[in-house]
Chains A and B, each alone.
Chain A
Amino acid sequence: EVQLVESGGGLIQPGGSLRLSCAASGFAVSNNYMSWVRQAPEKGLEWVSVIYNTGTTFYADSVKGRVTISRDNSKNTVYLQMNSLRAEDTAVYYCARGLGFGDNSWGQGTLVTVSS
């Protein structure tokens, strides 16, 4: 069974750093396009980043330079390192496999709150 479990969210002060994890089971992250998508409270979905099976990465302009996506194939886990966090980064962060493709699946999300 395909499963994605996010962790690492929490309350963080502005300017702080946080690393989110997405542990996958039922498939290999190394063979898939893995994305992070966020949703601010009462707002729509916002794509954050993707890592291709080749290792190529892309980022939304809103996080470029502050966020790094990576993966550990041995742990079958994808990460999102977030630095210089701002209030507007407050959101539920979802991990997704194959965004826009037939094998798409999502985790349950992890809440990041940036506040002093």
Chain B
Amino acid sequence: EIVLTQSPGTLSLSPGERATLSCRASQSVTRSYLAWYQQKPGQAPRLLIYGASTRATGIPDRFSGRGSGTDFTLTISRLEPEDFAVYYCQQSSPSLMYTFGQGTKLEIK
């Protein structure tokens, strides 16, 4: 099983600031199979990034993803009020169990 560890657990920032979220894998993950999701209270998760760096349909360009191997990053360039939520990374390597990170809560400072 590939374990994904996200950091920090909680990130306190103000609107307009830049957010950098980290996801580290216990073994190498092919870029194609690394995704990021946003979840707000009472809602299903929403796909933000797939293939480590490709924005999903309708996702603003302030969201960007990068990384390879065991280290991946989600960056939100300028935080909008609606961006405060919980973010999860997830890997879907073929023929392996899928896994999620434990999540990073992005809260308003």
A interface with B by C-beta (< 8 Å): 33, 35, 37, 44-47, 50, 56, 58-61, 94, 99-102, 104, 106-109
Interface string of B77-108 (1 = CB under 8 A from A): 00000000010101110011111111100000
On B, residues with C-beta under 8 Å from A are: 1, 33-35, 37, 39, 44-47, 50-51, 54, 56-57, 86, 88, 90-92, 95-103
Chain A residues whose C-beta falls within 8 Å of the C-beta of B90 in the assembled complex: 45, 47, 99-100
User: Are B33 and A61 touching (Cβ within 8 A)?
Assistant: no
Does the CB pair A44–B100 fall under 8 Å? yes
Establish whether residues B44 and A50, one from each chain, have CB atoms under 8 Å apart when the complex forms.
no
**Given known contacts A45-B100, A50-B98, is B44 in contact with A107 (CB within 8 Å)?**
yes
Chain A residue contacts of B54, Cβ below 8 A: 102
Q: Are A47 and B33 in contact (CB under 8 A)?
A: no
25 contacts between A and B (CB under 8 A): A33-B92, A35-B98, A44-B88, A44-B100, A44-B101, A44-B102, A46-B100, A47-B98, A47-B99, A58-B97, A60-B97, A61-B1, A94-B45, A99-B92, A100-B33, A100-B34, A100-B91, A100-B92, A100-B98, A101-B50, A101-B92, A102-B50, A102-B51, A102-B56, A104-B50
Known pairs A94-B44, A108-B44; list 14 more (Cβ under 8 Å): A35-B98, A44-B88, A45-B45, A45-B88, A47-B90, A47-B97, A50-B98, A56-B95, A58-B96, A58-B98, A61-B97, A101-B50, A106-B44, A109-B44
Q: How many A-B residue pairs have CB under 8 A?
A: 66
> Which partner residue on chain B sits nearest A104 by CB separation?
B47
Residues in B with CB closer than 8 Å to A109 are: 44
Asked if B45 and A106 sit within 8 Å, CB to CB, the answer is: yes
Say how far B42's CB is from chain A's closest CB, in angstroms.
10
Query: How far does the alpha carbon of A47 sit from the alpha carbon of B86 in the complex, in Å?
Result: 17
Please provide the 6 A-B residue pairs with the shortest distance between their CB atoms, ordered closest to farther.
A100-B92, A106-B44, A47-B98, A100-B35, A104-B47, A44-B103
